[in-house]
Amino acid sequence: MRRFWLLFVLFLFALLAGCGQQGAPGGGGGGNNQSSPQAVAATLQAAELQLFKITEPLGKVGFPMPLLLAKGVVPLDTATWDCTSVTASGDLTDADGDGIPVDATFNGGCTWSYSGGGGSANGSWEFRNLNVQDPNDRDPDAGVKASGQVVWTLSAGGGTITWTWTLSQHDFVKDSGGYSFIYRGIWTTETSQGTFTEEYKLTGTWTPDASDPWGDGVLSATGHFSGNGPGCTNDWSLDVTLTSLHYQGGKIVSGTADFAGTDCEGNSGSVEITWYPTQVCFTTDSGSFCIDQ
């Protein structure tokens, strides 16, 4: 059970970092245009803002959804950058001014290097058919759809890590009762020890509170994770069910989250977390306990 609980703890305490909204690059429909890294970053940060409206409640639950679409795109002052041509093709129209184009596809990337008192490092990022769409360009809160691939590399201390995020489908779209979403993808990390792979799927709904449509709301979802890597005899898996999690005033005040999984050695276990206005209670295979929040 040790590996399972380690896996669960990693999920429970995974941190999510939010991004602020910035303006989007200008442009109309059609064509294949050169785009600066800054312009691409602005679009992706706007997309992240809508894709991850539910960042805070997911963070409280421990869902490890990375907000990395725009990370590392804008050159740092302390590093030397060499950017190849980054292109944005498709319809770049943004009539509702939410920073998200009607249908844009990004390709290209940059390499960078750094040398200083703390040592030296180099790396790169690359977009491979990274598509961003606005489901309704007449509504700035309509949501966003994203798919494609982002690849990062980092070399330092004699080793290299390649991290690939394949977004099979990342849709967060307004409907009559709030928002529905489906996130499917694969995270792959290549290191000197081997390749680690994790596949995920999360579907659900987000119903904002009328008083604070983007700060508070109710989240329900089901998710499945599975993966493998060096030293993992069997694929590990984790199923997650989030039931009516009400996020209010910076914390979850009601609802439940159920985790059940199997580790690389075939051991299984489960835990249920129940939120109350002043307490969070945990039920595991060995008993229950509560802590104040």
The structural domains of the chain, with segments of one domain joined by +, span 2-292
| Residue 107 and residue 86 in contact, taking contact as beta carbons nearer than 8 Å | yes
- The number of beta carbons lying within 10 Å of the beta carbon of residue 56 is 20
Percent of the chain with pLDDT over 70: 87
pLDDT of residue 100: 94
- Choose among 68, 17, 66, 73: nearest CA to 42: 73
pLDDT tier at 41 (50, 70, 90 boundaries)?
confident
* Token pair 């200083």 in the structure block, residue: 116
pLDDT of residue 31: 56
pLDDT tier at 66 (50, 70, 90 boundaries)?
low
pLDDT of residue 2: 40
pLDDT of residue 68: 65
- Choose among 187, 182, 179: nearest CA to 201: 182
Separation of alpha carbons 258 and 140, rounded Å: 34
Separation of alpha carbons 275 and 62, rounded Å: 14
pLDDT tens figures, 84-95: 778 899 999 999
Confidence check: pLDDT of 18 > 80: no
Confidence check: pLDDT of 50 > 50: yes
| Residue 229 and residue 223 in contact, taking contact as beta carbons nearer than 8 Å | no
Q: What is the mean pLDDT of residues 11-19?
A: 29
Question: Is 47 exposed, middle or buried (CB count within 10 Å of its CB: 0-12, 13-18, 19+)?
Answer: buried
pLDDT tier at 197 (50, 70, 90 boundaries)?
very high
pLDDT tens figures, 98-142: 999 999 999 998 898 988 877 889 999 899 999 999 999 999 999
Q: Extract the runs of DSSP E, i.e. beta strands, from 134-267.
A: 143-156, 159-175, 178-191, 194-209, 212-228, 236-248, 251-262
Q: What is the mean pLDDT of residues 48-59?
A: 82
Give this prediction's pTM.
Answer: 0.83
- The number of beta carbons lying within 10 Å of the beta carbon of residue 110 is 19
> For 36-50, 180-194, 273-287, which range has the lowest pLDDT when averaged over its residues?
36-50
